């Protein structure tokens, strides 16, 4: 049996899947190491065409795309933003940086997406935005969210870090909100190590987004020959990634079919082989509504108790299998409590955060790896934990 330190199956293991080396070499040969070179343009054009949206701007991370949301929405101190407590810190930190007050919403117990039935009670005259996070790449209830938002004149912007190529009722995630953010971090389906994208669904925001991304200047227009010099136009920062990273990412995106087919196989393997075991041990497996095409980003399970979840993580570690949990409820974090968060505000989030375990999920898992993981899970002794 493997000791606790010898990992046989990694939780995540980023790999090259196509022409990453070749395209990086081309980017180097082109002597354009900074941002917005030919590979950046290729990635943007590809995503715009595939998703059918007006503008995609590559960013240095999803976090930075979210920071651009807050700048583009003119978030001011005191503005309220509704965000699930069950998400990564960047979803809301980007807004708190501009002085916004987070208003934490609980999640649904089936998809773990924000509970749209709680939205109306949280909207106030200070609400500026609602931030749906498509958890695990499964679409939030966008029909209800968009209806409520438009009744109250509140903007919707999507954190789609997990959900590239996922769909809700036949329409790509990331195309519903006025803005959406993607992540190309190494834990995502498609990666360049660290990277992200801002998806702009309202063409009126494109020009200002380009300025914010380029240090508050109109350098993008200058490079396109639309102005003869560039200057300081607005607030902004440096949110554009090197073209070397875009070259790597383009090679990954070219392999969309291969990557997604592999991830679908991984997801289905876990789901089929763990179904009966889960049923007989009161373990909740992911729920994918029939009208959602998921993005195959992760495989999670909800154990009945915290002790069982922790027990399963250490049982798997003993067998050389890395598994992880996340997210800690944001409303109960040190920062969340400063905004008034307290136990009981988001009961489903608090419960799920104790129960959830994520199994190894990446682009180089072999059938042998999957068999090892499933065998180890099935051997977990519920009596001991």
Ligand X SMILES: Cc1ncc(COP(=O)(O)O)c(C=O)c1O
Is there binding between residue 57 and ligand X (CB under 6 A)? no
**Binders of ligand X in range 115-134 (CB under 6 A):** 133
Spatial separation of the C-alpha atoms in residues 50 and 45, rounded to whole Å: 8
Spatial separation of the C-alpha atoms in residues 385 and 383, rounded to whole Å: 6
Is there binding between residue 69 and ligand X (CB under 6 A)? no
Closer of 212 and 233 to ligand X (Cβ): 212
DSSP E strand boundaries for the chain: 55-59, 80-84, 101-105, 127-130, 155-159, 167-168, 171-172, 179-183, 196-200, 292-293, 300-302, 356-358
**Least distance in angstroms from the C-beta of 85 to ligand X:** 12
In the block, tokens 């969210």 appear at 145
In the block, tokens 């800690």 appear at 328
Q: What is the DSSP letter of 100?
A: -
**Binders of ligand X in range 288-327 (CB under 6 A):** none
**Least distance in angstroms from the C-beta of 160 to ligand X:** 8
At 338 the three-state DSSP class reads helix
CA neighbor of 43 nearest in space, from 179, 168, 199, 163: 199
Specify whether the CB–CB gap between 214 and 68 falls below 8 A. Answer: no
Is there binding between residue 58 and ligand X (CB under 6 A)? no
Closer of 161 and 173 to ligand X (Cβ): 161
Tally of CB atoms within 10 A around 93:
18
**Least distance in angstroms from the C-beta of 195 to ligand X:** 7
What is the pairing mode between strands 155-159 and 179-183? parallel
Find the part of the chain contacting ligand X (CB under 6 A) among 58-66, 204-212, 280-288, 312-320. 58-66
Q: Write the binding mask 140 to 179 for ligand X: x where contact by CB under 6 A, - elsewhere.
A: -------------------x-xx-----------------
**Least distance in angstroms from the C-beta of 225 to ligand X:** 32
b/e string for 342-357 if b means 16 or more Cβ within 10 A?
eeebbebbbbbbbbbb
Closer of 114 and 274 to ligand X (Cβ): 114
Interface residue with ligand X among 24, 27, 57, 62 (CB under 6 A) is 62
Interface residue with ligand X among 12, 40, 63, 349 (CB under 6 A) is 63
Closer of 253 and 370 to ligand X (Cβ): 253
Closer of 305 and 333 to ligand X (Cβ): 333
Binding site for ligand X (CB under 6 A): 61-63, 87-88, 90-91, 133, 159, 161-162, 183, 185, 196
């Amino acid at each position: 049996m493997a000791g606790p330190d010898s990992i046989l199956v990694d939780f995540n293991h980023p790999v090259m899947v196509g022409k990453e080396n070749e395209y990086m070499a081309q980017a180097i040969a082109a002597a354009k190491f900074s941002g917005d070179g030919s590979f950046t343009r290729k990635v943007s054009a590809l995503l715009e065409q595939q998703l059918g949206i007006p503008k995609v701007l590559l960013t240095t991370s999803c976090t930075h795309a979210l920071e651009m949301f807050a700048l583009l929405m003119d978030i001011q101190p005191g503005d309220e933003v509704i965000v699930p407590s069950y998400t990564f810190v960047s979803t809301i930190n980007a807004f708190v940086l501009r002085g916004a007050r987070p208003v934490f919403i609980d999640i649904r117990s089936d998809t773990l997406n924000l509970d749209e039935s709680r939205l109306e009670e949280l909207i106030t005259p200070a609400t500026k935005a609602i931030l749906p996070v498509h958890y695990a790449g499964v679409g939030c209830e966008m029909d209800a969210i968009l209806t409520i938002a438009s009744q109250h004149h509140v903007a919707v912007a999507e954190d789609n870090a997990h959900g590239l190529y996922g769909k809700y009722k036949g329409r790509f995630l990331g195309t519903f909100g006025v803005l959406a953010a993607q992540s190309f971090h190494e834990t995502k389906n498609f990666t360049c190590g660290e990277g992200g994208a801002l998806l702009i669904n309202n063409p009126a925001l494109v020009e200002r987004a380009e300025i914010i991304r380029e240090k508050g200047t109109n350098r993008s227009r200058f490079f396109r020959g639309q102005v003869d010099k560039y200057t300081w136009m607005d607030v902004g920062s440096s949110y554009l990634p090197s073209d070397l990273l875009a070259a790597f990412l383009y090679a990954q995106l070219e392999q969309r079919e291969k990557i997604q087919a592999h991830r679908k196989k991984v997801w289905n393997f876990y789901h089929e082989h763990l179904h009966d075991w889960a049923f007989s041990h009161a373990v909740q497996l992911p729920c994918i509504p029939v009208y959602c095409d998921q993005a195959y980003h992760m495989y999670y399970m909800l154990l009945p108790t915290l002790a069982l979840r922790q027990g399963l993580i250490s049982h798997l570690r003993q067998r050389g299998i890395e598994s992880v949990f996340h997210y800690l409820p944001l409303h109960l974090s040190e920062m969340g409590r400063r905004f008034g968060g307290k136990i009981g505000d988001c009961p489903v989030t608090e419960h799920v955060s104790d129960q959830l375990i994520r199994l190894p999920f990446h682009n180089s898992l072999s059938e042998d790896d999957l068999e090892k993981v499933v065998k180890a899970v099935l051997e977990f002794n519920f009596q001991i934990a």
